[in-house]
Amino acid sequence: MPTCLIHNDTTDGNLNRKGADEGPGVWFFDFDSSFAGHPLLDVDWGNRDILEVYAQEMDIADVDGLFWLITKVFFMLRRS
């Protein structure tokens, strides 16, 4: 798996995949949102019900935003 940086470009709100020197096989997520600092990839994202329970435990109010973000991130990871 290549080293990768996914960064939120605040000018257009899109997530962009960029190369990064964070170490071999490291996926680094840097985005400016209420989700920053949450262990997004430590959860089994099998369906929205699991995501809603996680969001409640982590005190994340915007479940739709979190669901969109994770969908976008995993779409970009599959493309690489």
Q: pLDDT at residue 7 above 60?
A: no
Q: pLDDT at residue 12 above 60?
A: no
Q: Where are the domains of the chain?
A: 4-79
Rounded (to 5) percent helix, strand, coil in the chain? 40, 20, 45
Query: Residue 44: what pLDDT?
Result: 53
Give 17-64 pLDDT, tens digit per residue. 444 454 444 444 444 444 444 455 455 555 677 777 767 776 777 777
At 79, list the tokens. 């493309």
Cα radius of gyration rounded to whole Å, the chain:
13
